[in-house]
């Protein structure tokens, strides 16, 4: 990364090829729509490029990198929910009747999308990606205890969401 800051193009290509799959997985766990995930992937790489001067080589790369990716995903989630609430209001208009449409149970992705960003991230890393608590805490840049609390809260919230739906 230090060489990327010095303008070394080959080092930059190698680094991006190296972190690409990690970032793509990270975003796909958060974004159900593949096309949107690709857009966000591209946006995350650009944000990485624009923020490269803020990285301090003496510190680990992962918390810095995933903070950028988390922020891009959170921006997307904010827009998604703003759009969803407008659509929800539209659905409530009296002339629209959705009673005859059968309700399907929520997919895990939908339930996950309702969780706060930090809880969703903790749950995904530990339960879906199979990371150890220590690895997940390192990636999120928080303590093991804090990660444990987030994952537990996410689990409880998911249980409640699914129970409410049923």
Partner 1 sequence: MSETLKTARDHQTVHQETVARIVTSLQPVRRLWPLSWRLAVWALLEVAVLLFALHNTRRTDLEQQMQNLWYLLGVGGFVLAGSLGAALALHSAIPGREPRAVQSVLLMVLALGSALLILREPFKTNLLVTTFIQKGMPCAQGIVVLAAIPWVALIWAVRRGAPLSPGFGGAFIGVAAFLTSFAFMRLRCPIDEGAHLLVWHLLPALVGIALSAWAGWLLLTRRKNRWHPSER
Residues in 31-50 at the binding interface with partner 1, rule: CB under 8 A: 34, 38-39, 41-43, 45-47, 49-50
Give the C-alpha separation, 105 to 86, whole Å: 22
- Rounded least distance, CB 120 to partner 1, Å: 17
State the minimum distance, in angstroms, from the CB of residue 136 to partner 1. Answer: 15
Q: Residue 20 interacts with partner 1 (CB under 8 A)?
A: yes
Tokens standing for residue 45:
């790489």
Site for partner 1 contains 24 (CB under 8 A)? yes
13-47 exposure pattern, b = at least 16 Cβ within 10 A, e = fewer: eebeeebeeebbebbbbbbeeeeebeebbebbbeb
HSE, CB side, 13 Å, CA atoms: give it for residue 109: 9
Per the document, the length of the chain is 166
CB of 84 to partner 1, least distance (A): 20
For residue 24, the minimal CB distance to partner 1 (Å) is: 6
Q: Which one among 26, 30, 31, 66 touches partner 1, defined by CB under 8 A?
A: 66
Q: Does 63 bind partner 1 (CB under 8 A)?
A: yes
Taking CB under 8 A as the criterion, the residue among 53, 95, 101, 105 binding partner 1 is 53
Cβ atoms < 10 Å from Cβ of 71 = 14
- CA dist., res. 139 & res. 157, Å (int): 22
Note the residues at the interface with partner 1 (CB under 8 A). Answer: 4-7, 9, 12-13, 16-17, 20, 24, 34, 38-39, 41-43, 45-47, 49-56, 59, 63-68, 71, 141
């Amino acid at each position: 990364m230090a060489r990327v800051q010095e303008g070394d193009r080959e080092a930059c290509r190698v680094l991006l090829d190296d972190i690409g799959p990690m970032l793509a997985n990270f975003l796909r766990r958060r974004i159900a729509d593949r096309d949107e995930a690709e857009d966000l992937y591209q946006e995350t790489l650009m944000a990485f490029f624009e923020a490269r001067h803020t990285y301090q080589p003496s510190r680990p790369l992962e918390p810095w990198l995933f903070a950028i990716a988390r922020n891009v995903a959170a921006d997307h989630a904010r827009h998604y929910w703003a759009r969803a609430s407008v659509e929800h209001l539209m659905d409530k208009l009296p002339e629209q009747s959705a009673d005859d449409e059968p309700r399907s149970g929520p997919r895990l992705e939908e339930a996950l999308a309702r969780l706060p960003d930090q809880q969703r991230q903790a749950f995904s890393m530990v339960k879906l990606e199979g990371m150890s608590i220590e690895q997940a805490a390192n990636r999120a840049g928080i303590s093991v205890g804090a990660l444990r609390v987030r994952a537990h809260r996410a689990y409880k919230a998911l249980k409640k969401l699914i129970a409410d739906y049923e």
